[in-house]
Amino acid sequence: MKVLVTGGGGFLGKAIVKLLLKQGDDVCSFSRNIYPQLTALGVEQTVGDLTDISAVIKAVDACDLVYHVAAKAGVWGSYDEFYRPNVIGTKNIIQACRKCAITRLVYTSSPSVVFDGSDMEGIDESVPYPDHYLSWYPQTKAEAEQLVLAANDATLATVVLRPHLIWGPEDNHLVPRILEQGRAGALRRIGKNPCLVDTVYVDNAAEAHILAAKKLSVNGAVAGKAYFVSNDEPLPLWDMVNRILATDGLPAVEKMISPRLAYAIGGLLENIYRLFKLSGEPRMTRFVAKELSTAHWFDLSAAKADFGYQPQVSIEEGLSRLQGWLRQGD
């Protein structure tokens, strides 16, 4: 079977690629760059932009299944920076699937699409989208997710996965950010509440995508649905942060600020960055302040029942693997 993974050179995309190769699939990747590690794996790579419909069609053509993983992530930037790759890019993927008669599309979303700034404790997929977002990333991902779900019909089966806080060896986003700020002494606990938070080890997130695709078919049980994906081991947020810091020998976060102050600082910094058109991103935003002071853990009953998802790598084992990878880089 020939399979396309958009963003195959990214953190999650590469983990999905490796599992597909392991099961004997012919794998292609569509990204903006060529990745030497994919070349070494024998992966066919097409270079292009998701907003270029002709390039997307070229990549999708002759494939049997598409995993749309690529996206613009982050908490800061203009609406257009997020809208073009996340929404227009997803529209193009759907259009290309229809033009090339692809029958299965697996889309990678995020639990942030339903985050309204309050605690998410044991919630399932029935939770509605909020009326307002504090960041362009969840807003555009929600727009894209709804496009994918609406595209499910008698010719194209679609499914949406919402992995939460993916981490592990080769992470180029979450873990490096935590370690960098930990080394700089810039991390602060936000509030005293031990808010429980789900995360997901990268191999578990990738496996969920493979399992969902195997069950995906036109008019099948998973078609047209969204699913939360995590390690199913919610921990107090700062306990998890401190355990990641410990893998690199860094001290635990002790200093604290109040959620109200963090939110106010975030709003102030956002205004300063907009007013002076500063590069980079603020150290705090309103979205991040809310994310770091609320609970985020999910009911995985649907994923377990519908496509047999069970996390295979525990947080403890994942941290051990992360530590081993970090030591290799020393």
Contact 303, 229 (CB under 8 A): yes
Q: Which residue from 196, 133, 139 is spatially nearest to 164, judged by alpha carbons?
A: 196
What is the full DSSP assignment across 81-140?
HHHIIIIIHHHHHHHHHHHTT--EEEEE--GGGG--SS-EEEE-TTPPPPS--SSHHHHH
Q: Strands, E, within the chain: which ranges? A: 2-6, 26-31, 44-47, 65-68, 104-108, 120-123, 157-163, 166-167, 189-190, 196-197, 200-201, 225-229, 235-236, 256-257, 296-298
* Residue 329, pLDDT score: 73
Which residue numbers are catalytic?
137
Residues 252-271 have pLDDT tens digits of 999 999 999 999 999 999 99
Residues 47-64 have pLDDT tens digits of 999 999 999 999 999 899
* Residue 330, pLDDT score: 61
Rounded alpha-carbon distances, angstroms, from residue 124 to 34, 222, 226, 229, 328: 38, 15, 10, 11, 39
Q: Which residue from 222, 200, 166 is spatially nearest to 311, judged by alpha carbons?
A: 200
- Give 91's Cβ-side CA count (13 Å radius): 10
Tokens of 183: 């080394």
* Residue 158, pLDDT score: 98
Q: Distance (Å, rounded) from C-alpha 227 to C-alpha 145?
A: 11
Residue 275 makes CB contacts below 8 A (sequence gap 6+) with: none
What percent of the chain is modeled with pLDDT above 70?
100
User: What is the C-alpha R_g of the chain?
Assistant: 19
Q: Which residue from 200, 199, 189, 198 is spatially nearest to 293, judged by alpha carbons?
A: 189
Contact 136, 81 (CB under 8 A): yes
Residues 21-45, mean pLDDT to the nearest whole number: 96
Contact 214, 307 (CB under 8 A): yes
Residues 311-329 have pLDDT tens digits of 999 999 999 999 999 999 7
Task: Write down the architecture of domain 2-167+198-232+299-312 according to CATH.
Answer: 3-Layer(aba) Sandwich (3.40)
Residues 96-138 have pLDDT tens digits of 999 999 999 999 999 999 999 999 999 999 999 999 999 999 9
Report the mean per-residue pLDDT for the chain.
97
Q: pLDDT at residue 244 above 80?
A: yes
Q: Distance (Å, rounded) from C-alpha 211 to C-alpha 280?
A: 37
Q: pLDDT at residue 277 above 90?
A: yes
Residue burial 196-225, b: 16+ Cβ < 10 Å; e: rest = bbbbbbbbbbbbbbbbbbeebeeebebbbb
**Alpha carbon 96 to its chain's center:** 22
**Alpha carbon 134 to its chain's center:** 17
pLDDT classification of 275: cutoffs 50, 70, 90 = very high
Residues 172-200, mean pLDDT to the nearest whole number: 95
Q: pLDDT at residue 3 above 90?
A: yes
User: What are the residue boundaries of the structural domains of the chain, listed by start?
Assistant: 2-167+198-232+299-312
